[in-house]
Amino acid sequence: MRELEDISHHLNERISSLQRIVDLSVVELPQNKMKKLGQELFALGELLLEFEKCVEQQKEQLKHLKELEALFQNNLEYVQHMRDNMPSHMPRKKSPANERESVVSQKAEADMQVVPPQHDKKTNKSYVREVDIITMPEFESIPQYMKGRVSYDQLNAAVQSINTAVAAKYKILHQSVKTLNNHSRKLHQRFKEQERKDTKGQFFVVEDDLREFTQIKVDKRFQGILNMLRHCQRLRELRGGGLTRYMLL
C-alpha cells in the first residue's frame, strides 16, 4: 500500500510538471524545451505502466486475503460447533478387571452392610462388567427411525443407569449371604432365581433390577433405547421363565 502511495505522489508531480510545460506551449519554445517535454511524456507513460502493475498486484493480494478470511471463518465456525456440542459422555478405554470400581446407587449401599476387609484369594469375584459408552460415530450409524427423539446424551445416560444397576446387583451377589440384611437377602435370592444354565458366568439385568437400583423409567421410550443398544451390540435379549434378561456383550 505504501508503494502505491509513493508512485501516485510521484505521478502527480510529473503530471503537474507536464501541465506547466503545456501552459507555456502557447508561446514558441526552444528546441531543448520541446525535447524535455517529450522525455517527460515518455517517463509519465512508464510510470503509468508501473502504477497499473502495482494495482494488479494489490488486487491479487486482496483476493488472497479474502480467501484466507473465508477459510479462517469456516474453521472458527467448526471449532465453535465442536465447543457447543461437546458430548458429556466420552469413550474411554477398558480397564483391567481387577482395577474396575463398581458404581452403586445410594439405595443399594443402604441395603448392604459394611463387611470388614478380608484376605480373600478369590479377588476376581468382585469383577463386574460394564456397558461401554456409545461413541458418536456409533450413534450416527443408528437408523433415524430407531433413534426417534433420543439424543446422544440421553442414550449414554441410560447406559450409565444400566451400569449402576449391574454394579449394585452383582455386588450383592458377590457377598456372602451371612453379611447381608433382610432386604438384601431377598434380593440375593431373587437374583439367583433369575439365573439359568445359559447365563452362567455372564452379566445381565431385568426390568425389576433397573427399578430397584435406578430412577430410570422402564417405559416404551426405554424399550426404544434398548433397541438402540442392541443395534450397537452392547446388549442382547434372553427370554425365558417369564423374564426378559438384558445380557451385557
What pLDDT digit, counting tens, does each position of 14-30 carry? Answer: 777 767 666 655 555 56
172 in Cβ contact with 180 (< 8 Å): yes
User: pLDDT tens digit string along 79-130?
Assistant: 887 777 776 655 554 444 444 444 444 554 545 444 444 444 444 667 889 9
Residue 132's pLDDT is 94
Gap between the Cα atoms of 229 and 134, Å rounded = 8
**Tell me: the pLDDT tens digits for 170-198?**
999 999 899 999 999 999 999 999 999 99
CATH architecture label of 97-114+124-248: Orthogonal Bundle (1.10)
pLDDT-based confidence at residue 241 (cuts at 50, 70, 90): confident
Averaged pLDDT, 26-52: 69
Q: Residues 221-247: what's their mean pLDDT?
A: 93
Cα separation, 224 vs 219, in Å, equals 9
C-alpha–C-alpha distance, residues 106 and 73, integer Å: 48
pLDDT at 210 over 80: yes
Residue-range domain boundaries for the chain: 2-84, 97-114+124-248
| pTM (predicted TM-score) | 0.53
Mode of pairing for the β-strands spanning 235-240 and 243-248 = antiparallel
Instruction: Find the range with the poorest average confidence among 5-9, 52-56, 131-135.
Output: 5-9
Helix (H) / strand (E) element for 76: namely: helix 31-84
CA distance 215 to 168: 13
Q: What would the pLDDT profile of 126-147 be if each residue is shown by its tens digit? A: 788 999 999 999 999 999 999 8
Q: At residue 4, does pLDDT exceed 80? A: no
Cβ distance 152 to 134 under 8 Å?
Answer: yes
The residue that leads in pLDDT, 207 or 3, is 207
Q: Which residues of 105-134 are buried (b: 16+ CB within 10 A; e: fewer)?
A: beebeebbeeeeeeeeeeeeebebbbbbbb
**pLDDT over 90 for what percent of the chain?**
39
Q: Which three cell numbers stand for residue 150?
A: 433420543
pLDDT at site 45: 76
Contact (Cβ atoms closer than 8 angstroms) between residue 155 and residue 139: yes
Which pairs from 231-237 meet CB under 8 Å and 24+ separation? 231/142, 231/143, 231/146, 232/134, 232/138, 232/141, 232/142, 234/131, 234/132, 234/134, 234/159, 235/131, 235/162
Query: Considering only CA atoms, which of 114, 120, 237, 240 is closest in space to residue 180?
Result: 114
| 93 Cβ contact list (under 8 Å, min separation 6) | none
**Residue 213: pLDDT over 90:** yes
